[in-house]
Amino acid sequence: MYFRILHDESQGLVSYLLADLDAREAVVIDPRAQDVRIIEAMLQEHHLLLKARLFTHAHDGLAPADAQIRSQQLQQGGLVELGAEHLRILNTPGHTADCLSFLWRDRLFCGGLLSAAECPRQPKVAAPQAMWDSVMNTVFKLPAETLTFSSHARATSPVSTVMAQRRHHPWFSGLSRDDFLNLMPH
């Protein structure tokens, strides 16, 4: 497998490229227009076919125009095939109403779910109750060693673990649901 992180530190935006080198297939998660040339170069260098562009979220409820996989294929528990590998789809609304996360092996690509305060396009959480439920009932139920990958990281690292998030996340660690909801801007 081939895995690359594309991090624009000035904007705090992160994209991810995953590829099965044997099958010559790749997916990109949360690609930015500015990354197109770099992604194309990596695909060409390894003779890879881009199988899908996956988006963990779209702002203002609008799906990105170039999203190849969305709607019926992106259902809870569904799979995105990548050669001999697959990514499991998890519905994790909160940062935006239609947020998704993609679980690959022990890695969770969760978009803005755990880093909504870092988002340059939407500083407020769209659905605080849904976010609480997504984090507590989906993300925090994963094994502690699961790596989390954010699509927003200006002041923080884009990579963490479920255990670190459980212990240290400023919105979820040690707070009740009511405390969390009171913290969220209205």
**pLDDT tens string 47-60:** 999 998 898 877 54
- 61 vs 93: which has the higher pLDDT: 93
**pLDDT in the model for residue 186:** 61
**pLDDT tens string 159-179:** 999 999 999 988 889 899 999
**pLDDT in the model for residue 18:** 95
**pLDDT in the model for residue 69:** 45
**pLDDT in the model for residue 64:** 45
**pLDDT in the model for residue 59:** 56
What value does the mean pLDDT of the chain take? 84
Q: Is it the case that residue 108 has pLDDT exceeding 90?
A: yes
Distance in angstroms (rounded) separating the CA atoms of residues 91 and 74: 8
Stretch 80-96: mean pLDDT: 90
Domain ranges in the chain? 2-183
Q: Is it the case that residue 146 has pLDDT exceeding 90?
A: yes
Q: Residue 140: CB partners within 8 Å, gap ≥ 6?
A: 162, 165, 166, 172
Stretch 3-19: mean pLDDT: 86
Residue range 2-183 forms a domain whose CATH class is alpha beta
> What pTM did the predictor assign?
0.88
